[in-house]
């Protein structure tokens, strides 16, 4: 078993999903829809079980170790598909959490 940290770079994020993690999308700000573009702020998390307790890790940028924030729904969908998601759930209200279906991960 590998050590869990509260943050993961993209490669570690992919590994966590392969190890059975659950892919979550969290909405951080009000969502707008203007001229066909859905905008807001979203973060990706992977949820694990560690000794029977839930453990959530956030995706970060390599530069400066800042949380990676997506600003369009299209960007969220594209990144989730790149992680292997077959179904993408994007919350459209601030505080909402979507669970994406990733084959061979913890919960589908």
Q: What is the pLDDT of residues 67-83, one digit of tens each?
A: 889 999 999 999 999 99
- Region at 20 (left for phi over 0; alpha for psi -120 to 50; beta for the rest): left
The dihedral formed by the CA atoms of 78, 26, 90 and 12, expressed in degrees to the nearest 10: 30
Q: What is the pLDDT of residues 79-94, one digit of tens each?
A: 999 999 999 999 999 9
44 strand-pairing partners: 25
Judged by DSSP in three states, 19 sits in coil
Q: Is the model's pLDDT at 97 over the cut of 90?
A: yes
Question: Which sequence spans correspond to the domains of the chain?
Answer: 7-100
- Supply the Cα-derived Rg of the chain in whole angstroms: 14
Q: In percent, how much of the chain has pLDDT > 70?
A: 90
What end-to-end distance do the CA atoms of the chain give, in Å?
Answer: 22
Give the tokens for residue 52: 């029977």
Q: Are 52 and 20 in contact (CB under 8 A)?
A: no
Average confidence (pLDDT) over 1-16 = 73
CA atoms of 73 and 77, how far apart (whole Å): 6
């Amino acid at each position: 078993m590998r050590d869990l940290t509260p943050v993961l770079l993209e490669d570690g994020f992919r590994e966590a999903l392969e190890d059975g993690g659950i892919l979550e999308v969290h909405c951080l700000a009000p969502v707008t829809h203007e001229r066909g573009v859905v905008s807001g702020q979203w973060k990706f998390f992977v949820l694990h079980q560690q000794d029977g307790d839930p453990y959530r890790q956030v995706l970060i940028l390599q530069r400066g170790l800042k949380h990676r924030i997506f600003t369009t729904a299209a960007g969220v969908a594209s990144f989730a598909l790149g992680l292997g998601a077959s179904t993408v759930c994007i919350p459209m209200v601030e505080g909402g959490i979507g669970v994406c279906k990733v084959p061979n991960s913890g919960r589908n």
